[in-house]
Each structure stands twice: as structure tokens, then as C-alpha cells.
Amino acid sequence: MKFVVKLGGAALEDPEMLHRCAQAVAELARDGHQVALVHGGGVQLTRTLKQMGKQSEFIAGLRVTDAVTRDTALMVLAGHVNKSLVASLGAHGQSAVGLSGGDGLIFRARKKRTAPDLGFVGEIVASDPRWLEAIWKMGSVPVLSSMALGFDGEYYNINADEMAAACAMSCNADALVFLTDVPGVRGADGDVLRWLNIDQIAVLAKDEVISGGMLPKLSACREALLHGVKRVRILPAAEAGVLSDLCSARITQGTEVMVA
């Protein structure tokens, strides 16, 4: 089976959590599954920008990205964070190849048209999964940072959830899993929703039950399901160990996002 796993948030900051997540991905690969790991790194990027004296600004969960922020994102995400994840998988005996979406022109982007303007924030418009397939044939795991090249030759900062969905759609993944630092999607009563129909997303957003980073995440879930990805789940990173049981056993953690 093909799995796309998106990792972000506190899991990238907590060594024990990162160890668990890397172990779970390595076990999936050893069981014969084809796994692509897509990662964010917003906390690390915000920290680096702060050290540089730059304040981070977000609109609807997306980072406003000027040229300096974009270049810093390339350094932090495609550099330090990406290679740290490759090292974590290697510590579990699993070979991995670190890439950005621009390498091999795997993903092509265009500027995201928004009001107000977000700068060098992009959206994926084309993909070529041949490099992913080649890495899988070698028994390795592609590790993708959320940067992609535009047709104008510029790098664009891509929301990592959107990148994960684009990756899952491109390679016809059987499952897309978001490993997060929250227990799942919470409803109006504050309880975690075990199941969430994509038709409910707009209502939850309108009522401001969901906001911030959950907005692009659920939008990415919706797009993936509408474009052929069979299963989409938002799962707390602390429960990454259940990944190997995702398609063969009853999983009670997190939120399953579904089409009616």
C-alpha cells in the first residue's frame, strides 16, 4: 500500500515524539509499504525568523512570506528540518532521501492568489511522481519539505498540509495521515470528532469551531478525498504507533475524514 504521512508541529520539536514517529514510518516501510513523509517546520521557521529580528504574520493559517522569509524557509525546511528527519529514519535502520518539492521538478507551484497578498506563498499545480517511484524501488523513503518551484523559477512556500495532499493525489495513495500535536478535530462541544464528513467542514469554519491552521488542513483533507485518496485521517503524533494497523484494525484515536 502507498502511505503519505505528514509530520509537523510539536512532533518535530520533541525528541521522544520524533523517535516514535520515525519508528512508525520505518516499520511501515519494512512491512513492504511505500511511504512518503511530508513535513512542515513552522515552529522552527518562526524561531529562526525571530532570531533574525523578523516578526511572523499569519492569515487564515497561512504564513505571509516575503523574499527574506521565503529564503529562510528554504534554508530551515529543506535544510535543517529535512535532514534531521532523514537522520531520524536512519537511526531506525531505514534509508531515506531528503528532497524539496523543487528537486526533480516533482511539484510545480504558482503564486497563491489571495487578498491580501501573501507574497511567496504558492499552491501546487502540477506533479511528476517518477522520483518518488524511483526512491520506493530502492526500498527507501522520500522525505519532502514543503517548498516547490514555480514556472517562473522562483521557490514558493507551500502549506505542508496542502503539499501532503498533493503528494497523496499525485501517487494515488491508499492513505493520507496527518500526524499532529492535537488529538483530532474538535466539535462545537469541544469533544474530538471520531468521524467528520467533508460536507461539515464549511459549517464548522463558518461557525468558527475550526480556525487557524486547522482550516488549510481540513481543506487539504477534502481535496485529497475528492481526488481519489482512499482514506484520510488526522492522528495525534503520540499515537503514531498505530499507523501499521490503520488499514487492518479498528483505530479509535484521532479523526477520520470521509466523503458521504
Are the beta carbons of 120 and 155 closer than 8 angstroms?
yes
Backbone angles phi, psi at 139, to 5 degrees: 75, 20
DSSP for 50-91, please give it.
HHTT----EETTEE-B-HHHHHHHHHIIIIIIHHHHHHHHHH
Domain ranges of the chain: 2-258
Predicted pLDDT of residue 60: 82
Tell the burial category of 8 from Cβ atoms under 10 Å away from its Cβ (0-12, 13-18, 19+).
Answer: buried
Predicted pLDDT of residue 253: 87
Q: How far apart are CA 208 and CA 82, in angstroms?
A: 33
41 annotated to a ligand binding site: yes
pLDDT band at 249 (very low <50, low <70, confident <90, very high): low
**Cell numbers representing residue 203 in the block:** 459549517
**Cell numbers representing residue 89 in the block:** 529514519
Q: How far apart are CA 102 and CA 100, in angstroms?
A: 5
Taking alpha carbons only, the member of 67, 2, 4, 74 closest to residue 41 is: 74
Q: How many CB atoms lie within 10 A of CB 82?
A: 23
Mean pLDDT value across residues 42-48: 94
254 annotated to a ligand binding site: no
pLDDT at 139 over 90: yes
Compute the mean pLDDT over every residue in the chain, rounded to the nearest whole number. Answer: 93
pLDDT band at 4 (very low <50, low <70, confident <90, very high): very high
Taking alpha carbons only, the member of 234, 243, 85, 62 closest to residue 160 is: 62
What is the tens place of the pLDDT at every residue in 211-228? 888 888 999 999 999 999
Mean pLDDT value across residues 155-180: 96
Are the beta carbons of 150 and 108 closer than 8 angstroms?
yes
Mean pLDDT value across residues 92-109: 97
pLDDT at 43 over 80: yes
Amino acid residing at 157: N
What is the tens place of the pLDDT at every residue in 169-183? 999 999 999 999 888
pLDDT band at 257 (very low <50, low <70, confident <90, very high): very high
Are the beta carbons of 149 and 215 closer than 8 angstroms?
no
Q: Which CATH number describes the domain made up of 2-258?
A: 3.40.1160.10
Q: Which residues contact 228 (CB under 8 A, 6 or more apart)?
A: 169, 172
pLDDT band at 98 (very low <50, low <70, confident <90, very high): very high
pLDDT at 69 over 80: yes
Q: How far apart are CA 232 and CA 19, in angstroms?
A: 23
Please give the distance of CA 105 from its chain centroid, rounded to a whole number.
18
**Cell numbers representing residue 239 in the block:** 499515537
**Cell numbers representing residue 67 in the block:** 523574499
172 annotated to a ligand binding site: no
pLDDT at 10 over 90: no
139 annotated to a ligand binding site: no
pLDDT at 248 over 70: no
